[in-house]
Amino acid sequence: MPVFTYKAKKSPTEIIVDEIEAEDLNSAISKLKREGLFPIFVEKKGKEIFHLSSILVFKKISSQDINIFIRQLSSLIHSGLALAKALNSLKRQTNNKYLKSIIENLESRIQKGESFHSALNKHSEIFSPFFINIVRAGEAGGILDETLKRLAEIRDREEDLKSQLRGALAYPVLLIVVSVATVFVLLAFIIPRFVEMFEELGQALPLPTQILLAISNLFNNFWPIFLIVIVVIIVAFKRYTSSEKGVLLFDKIKLKLPLLGEVLRQIEISRFARTLGMLLKNGIPILEALKVTSRTTGNKIFAIEAQRFYKGIEKGKKLSGLMKEDKVFPPAVTDLVAVGEESAELEQILIDISESYEKESQMRIKTFMSVLEPVLILILGTVVAFIVISMLLPVFEIDILLK
């Protein structure tokens, strides 16, 4: 039966923090009430949470909230404050009610003698395996403040890269949306009025105009079917890409996309190398580091590679040799990893690879956008120009006949 951690009032002045077994979250709350307790906070291993102050219908913590929490915690610990007191201080400062409830739970677990990484593990939906393992290494080495600071820096760089990618795609997406809306208005409202005028004239229409009118009639007569087909395709796509086979296929396709695929590959190589390098640098054994890396990578292909590396190293093979067996990692990466293995500086080599590929991916994002924008403008301009010319051709012919 699942175990729930709770914080509840027994009397106006007495608060109890303990655990209880129940079938689900609601059963746990009901059980506490039957025992005469007033629940304030109930949690099932970081997955189901009840908090009286907000009822937590929308459990949302932004990446920025987590980064601020990590940096402030690092500063407080570095200044000599005990971990539990540092958490208590941050709990009073944060405005995010969900994050506050998590910090409160972390503080409670620390006060009961639990390690910080173990307490974080109860909130695995917020803190990744990479984060938890780095914290564990920092605790073991007595450098938790420095470890948290490095984690914040890593998260900041990843957010910057994501922000650049989102910013780069914002204009093309806006351009596509506006163009599609323009074409929709033309096909649905403008062209049908021209059709009536052309029918009244009764003259033969140019081929481009005939094609455009056929498209317009098809759209106006069957738009509900088109809409249903689009919705079905979107739903089917989401369902398929949420399955294991679908995720694998979609991740393969993403890496093979023209221009963008290479950018995504470099981002994943950077993330893979940084995760593995940081774990090794903090004293995590390579097998465990690969296991964590396989769970934190954003692409299924790289996750499968990490699992393959785990099995190969377990049999006594070298990481560089395993990398050469497949074409996921380029020769430059495998050669550098081989040098790192020979010089016993693998963790630093991996971090250097990560930084190099991060910079390269930023450059490729700029190159990708410099190519994508004019191509999109050309394609969409051609579509709009075709529609306009197709509508004007009959008008020109009428004008010529009248002269």
- Model confidence at 326, pLDDT cuts 50, 70, 90, reads confident
Least confident of 25-34, 51-60, 70-79, 181-190: 51-60
Asked whether the predicted pLDDT for residue 77 surpasses 50, the reply is yes
Torsion, Cα of 291, 293, 294, 296 (10° steps): 130
Q: Residue 48 has what pLDDT?
A: 46
Residue 369 is encoded by which pair of tokens? 């956008």
| Lowest-confidence segment of 27-31, 103-107, 113-117, 212-216 by average pLDDT | 27-31
With contact defined as beta carbons under 8 Å apart, do 361 and 355 qualify?
Answer: no
Mean pLDDT, range 291-306, rounded to an integer:
88
The CA dihedral of 291, 295, 300, 303, to the nearest 10 degrees, is: -20
Q: Is the pLDDT of residue 320 over 70?
A: yes
- What percent of the chain has pLDDT above 70? 91
Instruction: Tell me the pLDDT of the chain averaged across its residues.
Output: 82
Question: In sequence order, what E strands does 272-317 have?
Answer: none
- Angle between helix axes 244-256 and 300-314 (nearest 10 degrees) is 100
Question: What number of other Cβ atoms are within 10 A of residue 244's Cβ?
Answer: 8
Six-digit token string for 11: 């009397």
- pLDDT attached to residue 55: 44
Rounded distance between C-alpha atoms, residue 3 and residue 110, angstroms: 18
Q: Note the pLDDT of residue 321.
A: 92
Looking at the predicted structure, is the pLDDT value of residue 131 above 70? yes
pLDDT at 57: 40
Is the predicted pLDDT of residue 165 greater than 70, yes or no?
A: yes
Counting every residue written for the chain, the total comes to 403
Helix, strand, or coil (residue 49): strand
**pLDDT over threshold 80, residue 41:** no
What is the predicted pLDDT for the residue at 210? 84
357-402: pLDDT as tens digits: 988 888 888 887 788 888 888 888 888 888 888 888 877 766 554 4
- Asked if pLDDT for residue 44 goes beyond 70, the answer is no
Residue, of 28 and 332, whose pLDDT is higher: 332
The pLDDT value recorded for residue 113 is: 87
- Nearest Cα neighbor of 290 from 309, 269, 270, 314 is 309
Instruction: At 92, list the tokens.
Output: 């009073």
Q: Indicate the pTM of the whole model.
A: 0.68
Q: Which of 26-35, 89-98, 258-267 has the lowest mean pLDDT?
A: 26-35
Candidate ranges 154-168, 184-198, 259-273; pick with highest mean pLDDT: 259-273
What letter represents residue 341's amino acid?
E
